Chains A and B, each alone.
Chain A
Amino acid sequence: MLDITNVKSDFPILNQKMNGQRLVYLDNAATTQKPKKVIETITEYYEKYNANTHRGIYQLSEKATALYEDSREKARAFIGAEKTQEIIFTRGTTESINLVAYSWGRKNIEAGDEILLTEMEHHSNIVPWQLLAKEKGAVLKYIPVDKNGKLNLDNIDQYFTKKTKLVALIHVSNVLGIVNPVKEIITKAHANGVLVLLDGAQSTPHMPINVKELDCDFFAFSGHKMLGPTGVGVLYVKEGILEEIPPFLSGGNMIREVTLVETIFEDLPMRFEAGTMPIAQVIGFGAAIDYLKLIGMENIWQHEQELVNYALAKIRAISGVTVYGPEEVVERSGVVSFSIEGIHPHDIASILDEAGVAIRAGHHCAQPLLRALGTEATVRASFYIYNDQKDVDQLVEAINQSIRTLR
């Protein structure tokens, strides 16, 4: 076991000054930093095992293939999937959702069919469906969000019709950190014979995930938001759904036999992994999973709960601050979105940057949600395992500094 209060030194990037100040990295909802172990695993791969996977009849390739497939097994166990072939590697959550939209969607969505989304979605879970709907003449419906950032589920039945084919929704909001009641929605969807895609980009890094318990049909997440390298994501697809679906990307690696007129495709999951995959990154992602398991996902969730409640109390106490999301204590990951009256978030971000504090300002790729909250842009601080109360204190001091400068 790794003690979560003692992990900061495992992250080389955090051991530097920014503008002469201690670097406080609070943009973890965008991407996380990488522990030495992940960086070393990638380096080791390039120094010792680099070869293309799955086709080579020599030891380097066999080793690379074995490590690549180990990562798939680690990803399977990490999210509680039953079978390894339910795990498809992609470039990230965005590609995972696009894969479902292009392959499953094109085969199954027809004119007049309805796809149910929410106003809380990241653009990556809106735009692919808009393109599909346009192509097929399908209809997008949205579960509305109230001013406090909660989905309106008072009368959940109203959202389902005989035409509803898919529900695609965000598990944990990247703007508010709110954990959506996905179990309730999935149960209702299945009762109506509707499949459910969960965008797990902001849940998987922060809490224990079990796709079997959730009973979702598709689950998408990104490696780089959970200590892994960029360029790797996962799409979990419940067995039986993709068997008859045409491929997404096509070419090498995903075939059994190619003639000049037709192709027999590989079995799952290889059928959906065309071309040379980001092998080093997939293997590095496996090392990230190992590292998270050493800490324990329950401990990570607990750590973030303590931190986010500490931060919420401190930030709410600053005069002129609006914190978005419910005021009462709800299930909420380590994300705080706020604004300060009379000061644009970008100006706050610049002053915070000077104080060594990296946060994000803007619409966080969720413009419909921000409109529902009645704003155009917020400041977002998002926490991860290496953050501590000292980081929050430096953030709060920098916010006060920005108020002194700009108001």
Chain B
Amino acid sequence: MSISDIYREEIIDHAKNPRNYGKLTDYDFEHKESNPVCGDTISFQMKLDEQKKVKAIAFEGNGCTVSQASTSLLFESVIGKTIEEINKLSSGDVLQLLGVESLTPARMKCALLSLSALKKATKQ
């Protein structure tokens, strides 16, 4: 497997046209997370419905393809999930969304920025 596997059309599309991009004014959770190594940042808000499931999520961010595409993919996937379900998400789930088996340690940090942000927000 090579790094080029991650730079597929679908991933580049998610990085260039991230889903759920923007800001929510009405939200239950909010968090900002950054990767000091490369300066990747994301900030997001999340709103739950009456069944305590994610109703809406929105983020803004800057960074590499891996960090931004993984955020777009991960956040898209959590809509309809409960907080318990979100807390059970693992790095393996993010890699699966990205369609790769593994990444180099440095790039894993980019890939997991959104998961870390999500978990920190829900634990507060």
A270 touches B (CB below 8 Å) = no
Residues of B within 8 A of A354 (CB): 2-4
Given contacts A362-B38, A376-B39, A377-B38, contact A346 B110 (CB under 8 A): yes
Considering only residues 364-407 of chain A, those with a C-beta below 8 Å from chain B are 367, 376-377, 405-406
B107 touches A (CB below 8 Å) = yes
How many interface residues does B have (CB within 8 Å)?
A: 20
Given contacts A345-B38, A362-B39, contact A353 B63 (CB under 8 A): no
How many interface residues does A have (CB within 8 Å)?
A: 18
On whether the beta carbons of A346 and B2 are closer than 8 Å, the reply is no
Q: How many Å lie between the Cα of A350 and that of B107 in the bound state?
A: 8
B45 touches A (CB below 8 Å) = no
A347 touches B (CB below 8 Å) = yes
Q: How many A-B residue pairs lie within 8 Å, measured between CB atoms?
A: 50
Minimum CB distance partner of B110 in chain A: A346
Residues of B within 8 A of A363 (CB): 38-39
On whether the beta carbons of A347 and B64 are closer than 8 Å, the reply is yes
Interface of A is mostly: helix
A351 touches B (CB below 8 Å) = yes
Minimum CB distance partner of A343 in chain B: B65
Q: How many Å lie between the Cα of A95 and that of B95 in the bound state?
A: 39
A344 touches B (CB below 8 Å) = yes
Q: How many Å lie between the Cα of A346 and that of B38 in the bound state?
A: 7
Most buried by B among A19, A343, A346: A346
On whether the beta carbons of A406 and B7 are closer than 8 Å, the reply is yes
Residues of B within 8 A of A361 (CB): 38
Q: How many Å lie between the Cα of A19 and that of B2 in the bound state?
A: 9
Q: How many Å lie between the Cα of A19 and that of B4 in the bound state?
A: 12
B66 touches A (CB below 8 Å) = yes
The 8 Å CB contact of A405, one of B7, B66, B110, is: B7
Per CB-CB distance, the 10 closest pairs between chain A and chain B, nearest first, are: A344-B64, A346-B64, A376-B39, A350-B3, A347-B65, A362-B38, A347-B64, A377-B39, A346-B38, A405-B7
Residues on B facing A (Cβ under 8 Å): 2-4, 6-7, 12, 37-40, 62-67, 104, 106-107, 110
